[in-house]
Amino acid sequence: MVPETTEMILGTRNHGKIAEFRSLFKGMQIKLLSFYDFPDVPPVVEDGKTFEENAAKKAKTIAKATGRIAVSDDSGLEVDFLNAVPGVYSARFAGERATDRENARKVLKMLDGVAWEERSARFVCVICAATPKGKTISAEGTCAGTISFEMRGSHGFGYDPILVPDGYQMTMAEMEPELKNSISHRADAMNKFRKVLKGFVQGQKK
């Protein structure tokens, strides 16, 4: 396992993401810090054209600024009927200061009148770790499903109230956190990420 002394900085101020990552890192001997432990680190402008570009930029910038390994992710919703929109613009789909509900409401409005069979979509997550010297690893995960006709559920965050994962009748927001964290795009990415993380960290200590 990764030594207990390994500190990693999670590059987000989103409390929902922090909680999910702490759950997903459970069992790994890592001291997980966040932006709240480094209030002087400025926000990173997410101007990449892909989830991977954004995740790598955040991780590299934070690692260089703090001198520690940084872990960051970029994630969002891709709706097939909308040609993979909102994609990398998921967090600000309805405007720079839009709330999660406003973003979800915009997707529902754009799909108004669209049949269930044409509402296929997926959550995508890319997790990236970077060292202060700029070396990176990354992993991508997905969770496929269908966009519901209305917002349902009070758990989770983001677009969770409007995505019904394949094989379920509940939206992500109607699921208990334990279930969601076992099938989510972030869990899928983390399962792949964990497999390469140990070697990555050990390689930095040589």
Active site (catalytic) residues? 74
Tokens read off for 163: 């995505």
Pairing between strand 31-34 and 7-10?
A: parallel
Q: Are 197 and 129 in contact (CB under 8 A)?
A: yes
Q: At what angle do helices 185-204 and 15-24 cross, to 10 degrees?
A: 70
* 61 DSSP assignment: H
Q: How far apart are CA 192 and CA 59, in angstroms?
A: 18
Q: Are 129 and 69 in contact (CB under 8 A)?
A: yes
Strand partners, 128: 72, 138
Any alpha helices (H) in 38-89, and if so which ranges?
Answer: 51-66
CA dist 8 → 25, 35, 59, 69 (Å): 11, 11, 10, 5
Q: Which long-range contacts (CB under 8 A, 24 or more apart) does 40-47 make?
A: 41/65, 41/66, 43/13, 44/11, 46/74, 46/88, 46/91
